[in-house]
Structure 1
Amino acid sequence: MRFLCSVLALCLLPLFGSAQVTPIDSAAGSTAPPPPTSRTGIRGWFEPRDKPNLIPLPFVFAQQETGFAGGLSILPVWRFGKDTTVRKSNARLFAWVSQEGQSTAQLTHTIFTKGEKLLFSGELSHYNQELFFYGIGNETSRSRESTLSYKLLIFDQKALARVRPNLFAGVRYRLTNTTDIEPVGTDNEGRLHSFLSDPRVSARERQNTFVSGFGPAVLYDSRDNVLATYRGWFVDAYGTVNRRWTGSDFHFTRYQLDVRHFRPLFGSTNTILALNFIGQFHGGNVPFRELGGMAENLSSALFNYASIMRGIYELRFRDRQTVAFQGEIRQKLFWRIDGAVFAGVGEVGNRVSDLELDKTKIAGGAGLRFRFNRRDRLNIRLDYAGGSNSPGTFFLALGEAF
Structure 2
Amino acid sequence: MRLYLYLISLLVALLILNSAPVLAQEQTVEDKTVDPPKPDMRSVKGLIPAPVLYYTPDTKLGFGASLLGYFRLRSYTDTTYTRLSLARLVVDYTLNKQTDQWLYWNIFTREERLMLRGELRHRIYTDRFYGLGNDSRKDDREIYDYDMVSAKIAVLKNVGFRSFLGPDIQFTEYYNVKLEENSQLGSQQLPGYRKGRNVGLGAIFLIDHRNNTAYPSKGFYLELSGYHFGKTFGSAFRYNNLNFEFNRYYGLGNDRVLATNTMLRLNEGEVPVQRLSTAGGDKILRGYARNRFHDDHFAGTQAEYRFPLFWRLGGAAFAGIGDVFDKPKDISFSTVKYSVGTGLRYAIRPDQKLNSRLDIGYGREGFNIYLMIGEAF
- TM tier, smaller: 0.7 to 0.9
Structure index of larger Rg: 1
Higher mean alpha-carbon deviation, 348-357 vs 222-231, is at 348-357
Letter of the structure 2 residue corresponding to residue 367 of structure 1: G
Pick closer, same or farther for the CA change 1:273–1:253 going to 2, 3 Å: same
Mapping for residues 170-181 of structure 1, pairs under 5 Å? 170-181=166-177
Aligned to 1:93: 89
| CA drift at 1:78 | 0.3
Aligned to 1:248: 235
Aligned to 1:125: 121
Aligned to 1:270: 255
Structure 1 Cα separation of the partners of residues 327 and 232 of structure 2: 26
* Deviations 1:203-256, CA, capped at 9 Å, x for gaps: x52111101111222110011111111111110001111111121111111111
Does 2:66 align with 1:58?
no
Aligned to 2:142: 146
User: What is the DSSP-based 3-state SS (H/G/I as helix, E as strand, rest coil) of the residue aligned with 1:79?
Assistant: strand
User: What is the DSSP-based 3-state SS (H/G/I as helix, E as strand, rest coil) of the residue aligned with 2:186?
Assistant: helix
User: What is the DSSP-based 3-state SS (H/G/I as helix, E as strand, rest coil) of the residue aligned with 1:295?
Assistant: coil
Runs of 4+ in 1 over 6 A off after TM superposition: none
- Give the counterpart of 1:195 among 185, 188, 193: 185
Q: Which runs of 5+ in 1 are unaligned?
A: 1-32, 38-43, 186-191, 298-306
| CA drift at 1:63 | 6.3
Structure 2 Cα separation of the partners of residues 252 and 342 of structure 1: 34
Structure 2 Cα separation of the partners of residues 179 and 51 of structure 1: 38
When the two structures are aligned, how many residues end up with a matched partner? 338
Aligned to 2:29: none
Structure 2 Cα separation of the partners of residues 237 and 323 of structure 1: 14
| CA drift at 1:378 | 0.7
Structure 1 Cα separation of the partners of residues 254 and 71 of structure 2: 23
Pick closer, same or farther for the CA change 1:133–1:274 going to 2, 3 Å: same
Pick closer, same or farther for the CA change 1:353–1:100 going to 2, 3 Å: closer
Structure 2 Cα separation of the partners of residues 160 and 398 of structure 1: 24
Pick closer, same or farther for the CA change 1:85–1:311 going to 2, 3 Å: same
Structure 2 Cα separation of the partners of residues 380 and 262 of structure 1: 19
Structure 1 Cα separation of the partners of residues 141 and 122 of structure 2: 24
Pick closer, same or farther for the CA change 1:63–1:400 going to 2, 3 Å: closer
Aligned to 1:5: none
Structure 1 Cα separation of the partners of residues 291 and 56 of structure 2: 16
Aligned to 1:78: 71
Structure 2 Cα separation of the partners of residues 195 and 234 of structure 1: 37
Higher mean alpha-carbon deviation, 82-91 vs 340-349, is at 82-91
| CA drift at 1:358 | 3.9
| CA drift at 1:85 | 4.1
Contact 2:54–2:62 (8 Å) recurs in 1: yes
| CA drift at 1:140 | 0.6
Mapping for residues 22-37 of structure 1, pairs under 5 Å? none
- Give the counterpart of 2:358 among 378, 382, 387: 382
How many percent of aligned residue pairs carry the same amino acid? 28
- Give the counterpart of 1:350 among 323, 326, 347: 326
Pick closer, same or farther for the CA change 1:178–1:147 going to 2, 3 Å: same
Structure 2 Cα separation of the partners of residues 62 and 111 of structure 1: 27
Task: Report the TM-score, using the length of structure 2 for normalisation.
Answer: 0.84
Higher mean alpha-carbon deviation, 97-106 vs 281-290, is at 97-106
* Deviations 1:27-54, CA, capped at 9 Å, x for gaps: xxxxxx99x66xxxxxx8x42xx1222x
Contact 1:77–1:376 (8 Å) recurs in 2: no
User: What is the DSSP-based 3-state SS (H/G/I as helix, E as strand, rest coil) of the residue aligned with 1:359?
Assistant: coil
Structure 2 Cα separation of the partners of residues 158 and 338 of structure 1: 33
User: What is the DSSP-based 3-state SS (H/G/I as helix, E as strand, rest coil) of the residue aligned with 1:121?
Assistant: strand
Letter of the structure 2 residue corresponding to residue 209 of structure 1: G
Pick closer, same or farther for the CA change 1:355–1:362 going to 2, 3 Å: same
Pick closer, same or farther for the CA change 1:171–1:356 going to 2, 3 Å: farther
Pick closer, same or farther for the CA change 1:62–1:317 going to 2, 3 Å: closer
Aligned Cα root-mean-square deviation (Å):
2.2
Contact 2:72–2:81 (8 Å) recurs in 1: no
Q: Which runs of 5+ in 2 are unaligned?
A: 1-36
| CA drift at 1:67 | 6.1
Structure 2 Cα separation of the partners of residues 378 and 91 of structure 1: 13
* Deviations 1:252-301, CA, capped at 9 Å, x for gaps: 11111011001112xx142100100000111111111111111246xxxx
Aligned to 1:315: 291
Aligned to 2:201: 214
